[in-house]
Chain A
Amino acid sequence: MATATDAAAQARADWSAIERELGCRSGGPINIGWHCSDRICEQGLAAKPALLWEDAQGARRSYTFDDLRVHSNTFARLLLGLGLRPGERVCIFMDRVPALYFSFLGVLKMGGIAQPLFSAFGEDSLKVRLADAGTVAVLTQRKHAGKVRRIRAVLPELKHVVVVDAGTTPLVEGETPFDLDSAPRVERFDVFPSLAETPSVLHYTSGTTGPPKGAQHVHSSLLAQYYTTKLVLGLRPDDVYWCNADPGWVTGTSYGIIGPWSNGITQAVLDAGFGAERWYGFLARRRVTVWYSAPTAIRLLMREGGDLVRRFDLSALRHLASVGEPLNPEAVVWSQEVFGRPFHDTFWQTETGAIVIANLPGMKIRPGSMGKPVPGVTAAVVDPATFAPLEERGRVGLIALRPGWPSMMRGYWQNPEAYAKKFRGGWYLCGDKATIDADGYYWFVGRDDDVINTGGHLVGPFEVESALLEHPAVAESAAVAKPDRVNMEVVKAFVALKPGFAPGDDLELEIMNHVRKRLSPLAMPQEIEFVASLPKTRSGKIMRRVLRAQEWGEPVGDLSTMMDE
């Protein structure tokens, strides 16, 4: 009995056929920006709604695929006019406003590399990612421009800051105001003839050690994103689809832009925070048929109860899916009760570019399971030491994928060493542990490293510890995952103070806010424990695993290398 997915069975996705379906020829041009807009218009869908947009203040706008085509042309022309060249990195640092979506496609159309970053990032998070990528231009909004201004002096490669909603507000010297509504419509634009391996999108992701790494994708990722959108999310031409992920993260681009629009699907977008009533109202008002959400959001909705759901007409909903962290069985059962259908868990990550393990529509769901490998992906659970697929069902090992599907990252930006470390024995290692049951269903067990998965976002302990050490009171620190019933994990910090500082509520809040502003709200420790010292190895390295085990009530393991106090 082999626990590795049978390669022959899983090779059923014929990537060449999908390439032809997308109108591409092998070795010919392929451009995600063009495929998501111009191509859909050429198929006679120019007048079809592409984007139904709302914000928290109640503003509503609707855009057709022709609008998508023209507005992305406008951004592409703007960038070329500024002197940007193909291959240069353009950061999109915005809330979920229409300009984000148009500019993402525009960057790709002019041959640039789109680098979307979460708009809640603080200046340290922003600085590290822009410096690493050598970003040449940032497209942002007035309300986020201050963060860019404060770090611009230390980013010599950053030549342009474009403020897309500047209006008449005076900007700082060196910033470019832009207003889509008053900009001339660019009906025709010569799209950059990118090829399958031309870089397209750069998404940063956190690891255990060192700063975040840029997972670099290419234009042929489109094949997997287009295909899995149809196959896993089950989208059909008449659907109204809502992916509530922010495009600052990979779900928000792969399945919040590329997948649905390359399929000519109408998307609804809500530029607002979480609110059960607001979300249900949006689903009902927009008659959403397919909803791609996240376990944290689902658990927050569960807290508000089922009675609230029944006040809304959600009869249009046909399919529900989830991604980010494992979906707990209770959430699957709850959604069956209140929506009349279960959430289908899916698994993938920034590096894979597209869904790789999933509960497909129509598949019998085992609540709590990640599902099975998507056709076209060869997966296994491998031994952590030998990297051989585990033969014994139910045994814990590492989730491994055989490289070769189109949306696999092509490297970490300027970090070939880190990229090489992700491969062992011919497998790409996801960094997650799982088991496979007798029927081939995968069951998530946990991370294989110190990365903290909070609300579906990976937070690197190194980044949090670095930010903590910037606080004047902190002598040393360790950041670990702590279990949380809503977010699965949250960041907990252990802090030893410098002489002259005393633990207390004021200092705790001050340190929390310090990390929140420097990095992001999700990197903010939800709890700080002040300690006299941290457990260390004899060589002085902080032993996070001891602290983590303490939080999870697990055995601390071998302590023979621990320094005696």
Chain B
Amino acid sequence: MDDLRTAIRDYVVREYLEEGDPRTIEAETPLISGGIVDSFSMVSLKRFLEKTYKIRIPDEQASPDAFDTVSRIAELVERIRKDTPVPAP
């Protein structure tokens, strides 16, 4: 797992798994459909990504499908970062 995926995975484990929850999170573990992050909590995960990576995720792209695995979330972040112009110094 690269740094981006590791950071997202660590955040999900820290924020959404209860202490004692035996499940492990890998890059392809279903998060929303797997019942680890419910659709209401997606908003806090989206806020975390926007804040940490200085991006704006359009609501229409923040679907349960796009947030279903660490890999898909990372791909979304990478795509938006690529499309976001770097502010002039």
Residues of A within 8 A of B (CB): 56-57, 95, 120, 142-147, 271-278, 296, 300, 303-304, 454-455, 487, 505-506, 508-509, 512-513, 516, 521-522, 524, 526
CA distance A69 to B50 in the complex (A): 51
Tell me whether A275 and B65 are in contact in the complex, defined as CB-CB below 8 angstroms, given that A120-B38, A512-B44, A524-B44 are known contacts. Answer: yes
A-B contact count (CB 8 A): 93
Contacts of B36 on A, CB cut-off 8 Å? 273
Contact B40 A147 (CB under 8 A): no
With contacts A273-B38, A455-B39, A524-B44 known, what are 18 further pairs, Cβ within 8 A? A56-B35, A143-B18, A143-B23, A273-B64, A274-B39, A275-B30, A276-B64, A277-B65, A300-B63, A300-B64, A303-B63, A454-B40, A506-B51, A508-B47, A513-B44, A516-B41, A521-B38, A524-B43
| Most chain B CB inside 10 Å of its own CB: which residue of A120, A508, A521 | A521
CB-defined A-B contacts under 8 Å, sample of 29: A56-B30, A57-B34, A95-B35, A120-B38, A143-B20, A143-B21, A145-B20, A146-B20, A271-B35, A272-B30, A272-B33, A272-B34, A273-B31, A273-B33, A274-B39, A275-B33, A276-B64, A508-B47, A509-B44, A509-B47, A509-B48, A509-B51, A512-B43, A512-B44, A513-B15, A516-B44, A522-B38, A524-B44, A526-B40
**Does B19 count as interface, using CB distance less than 8 angstroms?**
yes
Contacts of A273 on B, CB cut-off 8 Å? 30-39, 64
Report the nearest A residue to B19, measured CB to CB. A146
Q: How far is the CB of A34 from chain B (nearest CB, A)?
A: 32
Contacts of A303 on B, CB cut-off 8 Å? 63
CA distance A120 to B40 in the complex (A): 11
Main SS class of interface, B? loop
CA distance A422 to B24 in the complex (A): 47
Contact A146 B18 (CB under 8 A): yes
CA distance A296 to B33 in the complex (A): 15
Q: How far is the CB of B14 from chain A (nearest CB, A)?
A: 10
CA distance A126 to B40 in the complex (A): 19
Contacts of A512 on B, CB cut-off 8 Å? 43-44, 47
**Does B22 count as interface, using CB distance less than 8 angstroms?**
yes
Contact B38 A276 (CB under 8 A): no
Q: How far is the CB of A491 from chain B (nearest CB, A)?
A: 9
CA distance A271 to B64 in the complex (A): 17
CA distance A207 to B21 in the complex (A): 32
Pick from B33, B44, B47: contact of A274, CB under 8 Å: B33
CA distance A308 to B89 in the complex (A): 45
Q: How far is the CB of A179 from chain B (nearest CB, A)?
A: 15
Q: How far is the CB of B64 from chain A (nearest CB, A)?
A: 5
Tell me whether A278 and B33 are in contact in the complex, defined as CB-CB below 8 angstroms, given that A509-B51, A513-B44 are known contacts. Answer: yes
| B contact residues, total (Cβ < 8 Å) | 29
Report the nearest A residue to B35, measured CB to CB. A273
Contact B65 A304 (CB under 8 A): yes
Contacts of B20 on A, CB cut-off 8 Å? 142-143, 145-146
Contact with A along B37-65 (1 / 0, CB 8 A): 11111011001101100000000000111
Closest CB pairs A-B (n = 4) = A275-B33, A521-B40, A273-B35, A143-B21
Contacts of B33 on A, CB cut-off 8 Å? 56, 272-275, 277-278
CA distance A508 to B50 in the complex (A): 12
CA distance A274 to B18 in the complex (A): 19
Contacts of A274 on B, CB cut-off 8 Å? 32-33, 38-39, 64
CA distance A512 to B39 in the complex (A): 14
Contact A272 B35 (CB under 8 A): yes
Contacts of A147 on B, CB cut-off 8 Å? 18
Contacts of B34 on A, CB cut-off 8 Å? 56-57, 272-273
Pick from B41, B48, B65: contact of A276, CB under 8 Å: B65
Q: How far is the CB of B36 from chain A (nearest CB, A)?
A: 7
Report the nearest B residue to A506, measured CB to CB. B51
Q: How far is the CB of A538 from chain B (nearest CB, A)?
A: 36
Contacts of A521 on B, CB cut-off 8 Å? 38, 40-41
Tell me whether A275 and B18 are in contact in the complex, defined as CB-CB below 8 angstroms, given that A304-B63, A521-B41, A526-B43 are known contacts. Answer: no
